[in-house]
Amino acid sequence: QIDSARLWGSIHETAQFGATAKGGVRRLTLSSEDKQVRDWFRKACEDAGLEVHVDALGSIFGLRKGRDMSKPPVGIGSHLDTQPTGGKYDGILGTLGALEVIRTLNDAGIETEAPICVVNWTNEEGSRFAPAMMASAAYVGDFTTDDILSRKDAEGTTVGQALDSIGYRGDKPVGFQKLGCFVELHIEQGPILEAEGKTIGVVDSGQGVLWYDGKISGFESHAGSTPMLLRRDALATLSEIVLAMESIAKKHGPNAVGTIGEAVIANPSRNVIPGEIAFTMDCRSADGAIMDALDRDLRAAIADIAARRKVEVQIDLVWRKAPTHFDPKLIAAVENAAKTLGYSSRRITSGAGHDACNLNTVMPAAMVFVPCKDGISHNELEDATQGDCAAGTNVLMHTVLAIAGV
């Protein structure tokens, strides 16, 4: 059994780095707050006896030796960055839970056959830089390191500049640390476990993701003197797109969602009809065929709206992540650990994307979910209980022990 109080203490101690007035955390990737939590985490890993290295994209790897160093390490961990209005648990539970597993094994004097590697992946959230799960995507070869280093945030700062500014451009090449498999603990970020009174979600699959950048070019004109019928209003165009996306997602539901999270009017003024809007779109489904249908329906709807309103709408697919099907043996190992420990569990699909989904494309991977309050995440009010966090960490530890061998 892990030390529930120690885990809870770590979560709340690090929640000060970027703490918001509403009880959440604002810790955008590679920000000064992210540097604070990284420094804390690196030191905690070193204090736990891990050999710590940082790769060229800032991901932190802490290695615990195993008896048989020819075996590839069992990877565990998640991420410490948050949304602009994020919570205390998303990613953090999985990273500090991994640290807690190491501390518990140390305290108990348990040596494993295979080594264990704790990982904090850079930019899982994808708010500041796209795509989400950026560093693990580069790790598995979906993008080159140079490509990722050149990605820019809204202010034009590149990933490379941001890494340098907080001193986390590491000296190890991406992929330097081989892993045999990866297990990630996370809050569910949805309402199912809580509603069904289950403690552990055995994650067997994850939704695929489509991310688009969009730009609407209408025509600025005077709000008072331009007749309704002569307008080429970028905001009215966006409004139709938002509602079209909503109904397309519902039509393909319940296994589909669609969101427009960002929309910025250029040079806004009360008495000017909006002429230009930049926006983003996020569509998801656990079913690849539905993802294709969402893309097709959305493009058709947008083309129709643009033609009718005589505006230009440009849509660029900037990221496509296929649905995830986790490794059956690792899924069984998670399920077995939950059963052994006496926790209620159910199989579940992840609505959110996770670094484990990227790793699963090149190695066996699996995930452990615990409930979160009212299914709320990506919100400062995100909440989870100490008991559930500890239960998830126990399942993580027992899964690791089963895979690594004692």
Ligand X SMILES: NC(=O)NCCC(=O)O
- Among 75, 353, 364, 392, contact with ligand X (rule: CB under 6 A): 353
Is residue 79 part of an annotated ligand binding site? yes
- 3 CA to centre of own chain: 26
How many residues touch ligand X under the rule CB under 6 A: the total is 13
In terms of CB distance, is 3 or 295 closer to ligand X?
295
Q: How far, in Å, are 290, 335, 358 from residue 404 at the CA level?
A: 37, 16, 21
Taking CB under 8 A as the criterion, the residue among 324, 358, 360, 377 binding its own copies is: 377
**Is there binding between residue 272 and its own copies (CB under 8 A)?**
yes
- Residue 14 binding target from its own copies, ligand X, none, CB below 5 to 8 Å by type: none
If binding is defined by CB under 8 A, does position 375 make contact with its own copies? yes
Residue 79 vs 252, nearer CB to ligand X: 79
Mapped to the 3 state alphabet, what secondary structure does 289-302 carry?
Answer: HHHHHHHHHHHHHH
79 binds its own copies (CB under 8 A): no
Residue type, 289: A
Question: Could you tell me which residues come within 8 angstroms of residue 133 by beta carbon, excluding any fewer than 6 positions away?
Answer: 121, 123, 124, 126, 321, 353, 354, 355, 357, 358
Query: Min. distance of Cβ 175 from its own copies in angstroms?
Result: 26
How would you classify residue 378: left for phi > 0, otherwise alpha for psi between -120 and 50, otherwise beta? left
Q: Could you count the other beta carbons within 10 Å of the beta carbon of residue 241?
A: 24
Query: According to the annotation, is 90 in a ligand binding site?
Result: yes
Length of the chain: 406
* CB 344 within 8 Å of CB 200: yes
Return the range that interacts with its own copies (CB under 8 A); candidates 63-71, 141-149, 174-182, 231-239.
231-239
Query: Where in 171-210 is the site for ligand X (CB under 6 A)?
Result: 189
d(CA 95, CA 83): 16
Sign of CA dihedral 167, 171, 71, 322: positive
Asked if residue 355 binds ligand X (CB under 6 A), the reply is: no
332 contributes a contact to its own copies by CB under 8 A: no
Peptide bond into 131 cis (omega under 30): yes
Nearer to its own copies, 70 or 267 (CB): 267
> What does 66 interact with, of its own copies, ligand X, none (CB < 5 to 8 A by kind)?
none
Binding to ligand X, residues 252-281 (CB under 6 A):
271
From its own copies, ligand X, none, interface partner of 258 (C-beta below 5 to 8 A by class) = its own copies
Of residues 72 through 101, those in contact with ligand X by CB under 6 A are: 90
Contact of 237 with 218, CB cutoff 8 Å: yes
Q: Which of 324, 346, 323, 325 is nearest to 334 (CA)?
A: 346
Query: Should residue 195 be labelled a site residue for its own copies when binding is judged by CB under 8 A?
Result: no
Among 81, 124, 194, 204, binds ligand X (CB under 6 A): 124
Binding site for ligand X (CB under 6 A): 90, 124-126, 132, 189, 222-224, 271, 352-354
Binding residue positions for Zn(2+) = 79, 90, 125, 186, 378
